[in-house]
Chain A
């Protein structure tokens, strides 16, 4: 077995037993990157030399005896700051931007000796569902290079699937960890909003963004999550109380109450995906889980709400790219201040980013704010109430398909923004309500993976991880 195909747990055991060194493990990942990444394009920056130095240090200190992530190669989405390393967010405007400090999650990974092997490709500023909007070229799906890996964390998902790392970090605004995890056949976890610090994450839409782990197993995702989560005074939306009190502490699915929301199984769902998910639900019932049909009646409005509020937040967050403080600038070529703004932004930002900034500017503008932004925030409240009601009825989790279709062909939706937006249909509601959810691979349609999504109540991250481990 190749070292780069191990799970995080297996790799830690091998390191502890002295079967191989962290240097060998890291080198096996760089070998995979060298062999495959010219085709897949999962990485924007590869940190080979410093990774091998760090691995040497871990081998000398044997820190893997204390920390399960010590010496483990992890890839980082390129919108998370790693000090003195390029951080592009997939955008031309940040092509040469060097991070000046470590994000909180990076500090935590470094503290336990994880090896940060590189920065992964992504949709520009995490805006997209196919990783095709990146300034650095599209990412390809490792299962079939004609297909997209999903997005926006397509590089992080593809890197895990193609065994170029053992785990990775992505960020999830409307499904950007779970949807690519589903398309690439890996596990992807979106934590409760506020569980993981956003300090040092380049903002997309701040009331939705959460950093989440991707790995080959649920256990791997949990190991990374346990390392990166926790209160951070540098993130004003960080939650103080921990989630461990919600663990089920059970060994099997007997008596676990699972809700199946009917709105996720309606027209538009690929029939093969439907039957794979139904079969999984039947298996869980056989193991003693109690399955209940439920309804989340405002689901049909979720995407419309998401595609109003998210661009509104984007239009304010991305005002910072002005050609004055950092990033691509046409300062020298411009006569007036307004020219610096207009020409730097027009040249540095991609088409999808401009589209969303304008959409946000529209829905926040005088005369439209009431009908769009405020109305959407009210419907968002109704969507949250739908979830609250079903969880108050005593459910432990909800199960849905992560996406209604498997991965689509490269180029299929890139010229049709609305069709691209609709690929978030299974995932965006969860971000609207701030809930935790996980996608895990449960089958295939031809050669393309299918993901099952488990949604938990607020702060019940550990509970859904436990349930996921039993599927």
Chain B
């Protein structure tokens, strides 16, 4: 149903590192789950639109006003960041 290469590929997409035994375990478990959900292939869906909730597909906008930033909240949010430079959150070089 799903092979080891596929597990490695989706783990890569999901940014999750797997050990060899993880790969084996997930291959078996995901295979079973995908097998179960494949019963949807039996349903006739021709002409059926995908679900939308009752509010429908619309954007919700707020008034175009400048909000006064809550510096307490932003300071507290920054405190949670593992690496900072002044009031910036530090990251590694994404191009490396």
User: Are B33 and A378 in contact (CB-based, < 8 A)?
Assistant: no
A277-307 residues with Cβ-Cβ distance < 8 A to B are 298, 300-301, 303-305, 307
By a CB distance below 8 angstroms, the chain B residues around A340 are 91-92
Chain B residues contacting A381 (CB-CB under 8 Å) are 48-52
Please tell me which one of the listed residues A323, A357, A378 contacts residue B16 in the complex, with CB atoms under 8 A apart: A357
Report how far A254 CA is from B50 CA in the complex, Å.
Answer: 39
The answer to whether A382 and B60 have CB atoms under 8 Å apart is no
* Residues 356-391 of A contacting B (Cβ, < 8 Å): 357-362, 365, 371-372, 374-382, 384
What separation, in Å, do the CA atoms of A307 and B62 have in the docked complex? 34
What per-residue 1/0 map shows which CB atoms of A174-205 lie under 8 Å from chain B? 00000000000000000001100000000000
Return chain A residues, CB-CB under 8 Å to B26.
354-355, 358
A111 contacts B by Cβ under 8 Å: no
A326–B84 Cα gap in the complex (Å)? 11
Residue A343, interface by CB 8 Å = yes
Given A307-B36, A365-B10, answer yes or no on A325-B53 (Cβ-Cβ < 8 Å): no
Contact A337 B91 (CB under 8 A): yes
Tell me the minimal C-beta distance from B52 to chain A in angstroms: 8
- Asked if A8 CB lies within 8 Å of chain B CBs, one says no
Q: Which of B7, B10, B77, B90 contacts A100 (CB 8 A)?
A: B77
Chain A contacts of B82 at CB under 8 A? 323-324, 326, 329, 331-332
Q: How large is the interface on A (under 10, 10 to 19, 20 to 34, 35 or more residues)?
A: 35 or more
**Docked-complex contact B29 and A237, CB < 8 angstroms:** no
| Interface membership of A270, Cβ < 8 A | no
A434 touching B80, Cβ below 8 Å: no
Nearest CB in chain A to that of B74: its residue: A100
Number of chain B interface residues as a range: 35 or more
* Residue of chain B at shortest CB distance from A362: B10
The answer to whether A324 and B89 have CB atoms under 8 Å apart is: yes
Partner of B40, one of A308, A339, A345: A308
How near does chain A come to B74, taking the closest CB pair, in angstroms? 9
Dominant secondary structure of chain A at its interface with chain B: helix
A417 within 8 A of B: yes
Q: Give the A-B contact count at a CB cut-off of 8 A.
A: 164
Which of B13, B30, B53 lies in contact with A365, CB distance below 8 A?
B13
Assess whether A384 is in contact with B51, with CB atoms less than 8 Å apart.
Answer: yes
Q: Does B45 contact A (CB under 8 A)?
A: yes
Bound-state CA distance A458–B36 (Å) is 29
Closest to A346 in B: B17
A371–B30 Cα gap in the complex (Å)? 16
CB-CB under 8 A for A342 and B43, given A98-B80, A323-B82, A355-B30: no
**Bound CA–CA A421/B93 (angstroms):** 40
Please indicate the chain A residues that have their CB under 8 angstroms from the CB of B13 in the complex.
Answer: 361, 365
- Interface residue ranges of B1-32 to A (CB < 8 Å): 2, 6-7, 9-11, 13-18, 26, 29-30, 32
By a CB distance below 8 angstroms, the chain A residues around B96 are: 336-337
Known: A100-B76, A308-B37, A325-B80. A359 touches B30 (CB 8 A): yes
Query: Top 7 A-B pairs ranked by shortest CB distance?
Result: A377-B50, A326-B80, A329-B82, A380-B51, A236-B60, A337-B92, A100-B76
Enumerate chain A interface residues (CB-CB to B < 8 A): 97-98, 100-101, 193-194, 207, 233, 236-237, 239, 298, 300-301, 303-305, 307-308, 315, 319, 322-327, 329, 331-332, 334-343, 345-346, 349, 354-355, 357-362, 365, 371-372, 374-382, 384, 417-418, 421, 432, 434, 458
Between A and B, 16 residue pairs with Cβ closer than 8 Å are A98-B80, A100-B77, A100-B80, A237-B53, A308-B37, A319-B15, A323-B82, A331-B83, A332-B83, A342-B17, A346-B17, A355-B26, A357-B16, A361-B10, A378-B45, A418-B29
